[in-house]
Amino acid sequence: MATYKKTGSKPKKNQTSKIEEESTTAEVFNTLDETASKSEQFIIKNQKPIFGLLAAIVIVILGYLAYQKYVQAPNEKEAADELAFPKAYFEDASTNSVAADSLYTLALEGADGKYGFIDIASNYSGTKAGNLANYYAGISYLKLKNYQEAIEYLESFSSEDELLGPVAKGAIGDAFADINQLDDALDFYLKAASLRDNNFSSPLYLFKAGNIAMTLEKYATALDAFTKIKTNYPTSNEAKNIDIYINKAKFASK
């Protein structure tokens, strides 16, 4: 029997794939050429605003670097030098109970033509020393029992330091506690306790928060604070007799 044979033949599979790949590659290059051409046309058409924008960015960067070098850095040094004077009075006041009020006042207001914390905080507000002046001013006012001023300056202070940040928040809590605004005091003690997790400030302010919560009859909050001290900070000073406070909170909540 005769067998029918086709006169034409299909291209082999790998040949077809090769043709398709070459076609796709050509399309990609054509697309890239078109895109590049359009981009070139856009740049040519808008070269003035583009170069103007680039020049503006360069000017801003150079201006910032110049400001940091010729303005900010000298201000930082000057502010740090100024801060040394009131800090000496502050440190003397911390160890001298007899003339403490006078020394804290000198630290705040300055003397002999030198700035105190108030002026440094105001005149060097964008510097590290100016920020620290807020802290020292707040603590000084707290020691002088000027609670509103203490709160204002301490709230203006910010720090990533492991202890200074929590101590500042806790000092605001102390100020509110002294003027019998106990809900605010509780709020700031809890903030101070959670701001940094360490074995000093965290249990200290949890303990203060727990005692304030007991006074406010917020026994669940008190129990939570005392329990955290026992669980998370068992080697802290506040943990030594913490079971007594835990039992008081449990008993009071019944």
Same domain assignment for residues 146 and 221 = no
Local confidence band at 45 (pLDDT 50, 70, 90 cut-offs): low
Specify if 16 maps to a domain: no
> What pLDDT is stored for residue 252 in this prediction?
93
Same domain assignment for residues 134 and 236 = no
Output b/e per residue, 73-93; b: 16+ Cβ within 10 A: eebbeebbebbebbbebbebb
Q: Is the pLDDT of residue 70 over 50?
A: no
Q: Is the pLDDT of residue 106 over 80?
A: yes
Same domain assignment for residues 146 and 196 = no
Domain of 113, in residue numbers: 47-158
Same domain assignment for residues 97 and 141 = yes
Taking alpha carbons only, the member of 203, 251, 248 closest to residue 225 is: 203
Q: Is the pLDDT of residue 30 over 70?
A: no
Same domain assignment for residues 57 and 128 = yes
| Token pair in block for residue 100 | 């403490």
CB-based burial of residue 12 (10 Å sphere; 0-12 exposed, 13-18 middle, 19+ buried)? exposed
Same domain assignment for residues 135 and 190 = no
Specify if 19 maps to a domain: no
Specify if 11 maps to a domain: no
> What pLDDT is stored for residue 28 in this prediction?
53
Amino acid at 8: G
Q: Which of 158, 193, 216 is the last residue of a domain?
A: 158
> What pLDDT is stored for residue 98 in this prediction?
79
Same domain assignment for residues 152 and 77 = yes
> What pLDDT is stored for residue 126 in this prediction?
87
Q: Is the pLDDT of residue 213 over 70?
A: yes
Same domain assignment for residues 110 and 73 = yes
Same domain assignment for residues 98 and 152 = yes
Specify if 39 maps to a domain: no
Between 164 and 96, name the one with better pLDDT: 164
Specify if 246 maps to a domain: yes
Specify if 18 maps to a domain: no
Same domain assignment for residues 113 and 201 = no
Same domain assignment for residues 140 and 182 = no
Q: Is the pLDDT of residue 131 over 60?
A: yes
DSSP per residue over 200-236, as a string? THHHHHHHHHHHHHHHTT-HHHHHHHHHHHHHH-TTS
Most confident by average pLDDT, 71-75, 131-135, 158-162? 131-135
The radius of gyration computed from the CA coordinates of the chain, to the nearest angstrom, equals 35
Specify if 20 maps to a domain: no
Q: Is the pLDDT of residue 61 over 90?
A: no
Between 87 and 52, name the one with better pLDDT: 87
Local confidence band at 76 (pLDDT 50, 70, 90 cut-offs): confident
Least confident of 7-21, 33-47, 124-138, 169-183: 7-21
Between 126 and 1, name the one with better pLDDT: 126
Q: Which of 101, 130, 158 is the last residue of a domain?
A: 158
Specify if 7 maps to a domain: no
The total number of residues shown for the chain amounts to 254
| Token pair in block for residue 74 | 């000298």
pLDDT in tens, 222-250: 999 999 999 999 999 999 999 999 999 99
Mean pLDDT of 86-90: 96
CATH of the domain at 239: 1.25.40
- Longest distance between any two alpha carbons in the chain, whole Å: 130
Mean pLDDT of 21-32: 56
Q: How many domains are contained in the chain?
A: 2
Local confidence band at 6 (pLDDT 50, 70, 90 cut-offs): very low
| Token pair in block for residue 4 | 């029918």
> What pLDDT is stored for residue 206 in this prediction?
98
Q: Which of 106, 133, 158 is the last residue of a domain?
A: 158
SS3 letters across 24-40 = HHHHHHHHHHHHHHHHH
Q: Mean pLDDT over all residues of the chain?
A: 84
Same domain assignment for residues 139 and 202 = no
Local confidence band at 186 (pLDDT 50, 70, 90 cut-offs): very high
Query: What is the reported pTM?
Result: 0.73
